Amino acid sequence: MTTSLLLELRNLSCGYGQQRVVQDVSLHLNAGDIGCLLGPSGCGKTTTLRAIAGFEPVQAGEIGLAGEVISRTGFTLAPEKRRIGMVFQDYALFPHLTVEDNVAFGIRKHPERQRIVRELLELVKLDKLGRRYPHELSGGQQQRVALARALAPEPLLLLLDEPFSNLDVELRRKLSHEVRDILKARGTSAVLVTHDQEEAFAVSDHVGVFKQGHLEQWDTPYNLYHEPQTPFVASFIGQGYFIRGQMLDPESVQTELGVLRGNRAYGLPAGSAVDVLLRPDDLVHAPQGPLKARIVGKSFLGAATLYRLQLPTGTQLESIFPSHADHQPGDEVGISVAADHLVLFKAEGSVAVDSRS
Reported as a single tens digit per residue, the pLDDT across 189-205 is 999 999 999 999 999 99
More confident residue, 64 or 88: 64
Q: Are 175 and 206 in contact (CB under 8 A)?
A: no
Q: What is the mean pLDDT of residues 144-173?
A: 91
Give the whole-angstrom CA distance, residue 316 versus residue 294. Answer: 9
CATH topology of domain 5-83+155-231: Rossmann fold (3.40.50)
Strand, coil or helix: what is 256? coil
Residue 356 has pLDDT above 70, yes or no: no
Separation CA 295–CA 145 (nearest Å)? 48
Structural domain boundaries in the chain: 5-83+155-231, 239-346
Pairing status of strand 241-249 against strand 252-255: antiparallel
Cα–chain center distance at 177: 14
pLDDT at 355: 34
> d(Cα 272, Cα 128) in Å, to the nearest integer?
65
**Global pTM value:** 0.88
Q: Which residues pair with 94 in a beta bridge?
A: none
Position 263 confidence tier, pLDDT thresholds 50, 70, 90: confident
Question: Which pLDDT tens digit goes with each residue over 25-47?
Answer: 999 999 999 999 999 999 999 99
User: Is residue 357's pLDDT more than 60?
Assistant: no
Q: How confident is the model at residue 89 (pLDDT cuts 50, 70, 90)?
A: confident
73, 74, 158, 319, 324 from 239: Cα distances, Å: 40, 43, 31, 10, 22
239-346 and 5-83+155-231 share a CATH fold: no
Higher pLDDT, 216 or 1: 216
**What amino acid is encoded at 249 in this protein?**
D
Distant-in-sequence, close-in-space partners of 175: CB < 8 Å, separation ≥ 6: 140, 143, 144, 164, 167
Report the chain's mean pLDDT, rounded to a whole number. 92
Q: What are phi and psi of 80, to 5 degrees?
A: -70, -10
More confident residue, 336 or 1: 336
* Dist CA 275 CA 319 (whole Å): 18
Q: For residue range 319-355, what is the model confidence (pLDDT) as tens digits? A: 999 988 899 999 999 999 998 889 999 997 534 333 3
Among candidate residues 190, 237, 186, 232, the one with its CA nearest the CA of residue 211 = 232
Helix/strand/coil (H/E/C) assignment for every residue in 148-173: HHHHCCCCCEEEEECCCCCCCHHHHH
What average pLDDT score do residues 65-90 get? Answer: 95
Compute the average pLDDT of residues 19-29: 96
- pLDDT tier at 61 (50, 70, 90 boundaries)? very high
What pLDDT, on a 0 to 100 scale, did the predictor assign at position 2? Answer: 57
What is the per-residue pLDDT for 217?
A: 98
Q: Which CATH number among 1.10.260.40, 2.40.50.140, 1.10.10.10, 3.40.50.800 corresponds to the domain 239-346?
A: 2.40.50.140
pLDDT over 90 for what percent of the chain?
80
Rounded mean pLDDT, 74-87: 95
pLDDT digits (tens, 9 = 90+) for 104-145: 999 999 999 999 999 999 999 999 999 999 999 999 999 999
Integer Cα distance of 202 and 200 in angstroms: 6
State pLDDT tens for residues 206-215. Answer: 999 999 999 9
Rounded-to-integer distance, Cα 326 and Cα 322, Å: 8
Q: Cα 225 to chain center, whole Å? A: 11
Task: Give the pLDDT of residue 349.
Answer: 52
The conformational region for residue 288 under phi > 0 = left, psi -120 to 50 = alpha, else beta, is: alpha
Mean pLDDT in residue range 216-236: 94
- Environment class of 114 (CB within 10 Å of its CB; exposed 0-12, middle 13-18, buried 19+): exposed
Query: Pairing relation of β-strands 157-161 and 84-87?
Result: parallel
Strands lying side by side in the sheet with 5-16: 19-30, 5-16, 58-65, 68-72, 75-76
